[in-house]
Amino acid sequence: MMAFFSNLDANSDITDITFNDRPRLGPMDKASQEIMRGKSSFSVAEREIMAAYVSGLNACSFCHGSHKAVAEQLGIKPVIIEQLVEDIESAPIKEELKPIFHYLKKLTVSPSKIVESDVQKVKKAGWSEDALHEAILVGCLFNFYNRLLDGHGVKGNKAIYQFAGEHLSKNGYGVPWFIGLIKNFIKKSKLKKLKELENKGHIN
């Protein structure tokens, strides 16, 4: 599927949007790094599960596929995320995490219906207000990215998801200040890597 904008194509990813609007979207790189890789009550893998879960609820194929791939690189079986999207209670995750995912679901699907009792369920499971704040940040971040990608028509494919999974698991979300100077080099390197992944069978 082709993207909706003339500067995007079937091999585009989130960076093809953010790199072209650094004044407005550049700060999101630092925020993403802090939220997804900074100090947190949740492990990096748990935050990646949250990212893939929220994206699955939104049916954002790019973020769901990419962050499922990141989680897999961190030792999480993709089927766990699919089970979470299907039914939180029967999913094979720690019991204390389930109220967090219920909160993320409500935040994503019907945010105006969140009530005090939802917060209390999270606290009863042993989480602090700081921990809930951290989970909310992940949920908000990926609701934003899901809409950014789907709004531009960027859907990706299995090779791109695998590429993103390998890159984010190794390098995180930070982007150097001089990114504008090396965009063309990055694009060529990405296309070469995508071709390698497709040849290995990671093709859509």
The CATH number for 114's domain is 1.20.1290.10
Cα–Cα separations (whole angstroms), residue 50 to 54, 79, 80, 99: 6, 14, 11, 12
pLDDT range class, residue 188, cuts 50, 70, 90:
low
Asked if residue 184 belongs to a domain, the reply is no
Q: How many CA atoms lie within 13 A of 199 on its CB side?
A: 6
| Assigned domain for 136 exists | yes
- Inside any domain, residue 202: no
Domain encompassing residue 61: 30-176
Query: 194 falls in which pLDDT band (50, 70, 90)?
Result: low
**Is 112 domain-assigned?**
yes
State the average pLDDT over residues 2-20: 88
pLDDT band of 190, cuts 50, 70, 90: low
Q: What is the pLDDT of residue 106?
A: 98
Among 156-160, 169-173, 189-193, the minimum mean pLDDT is found in: 189-193
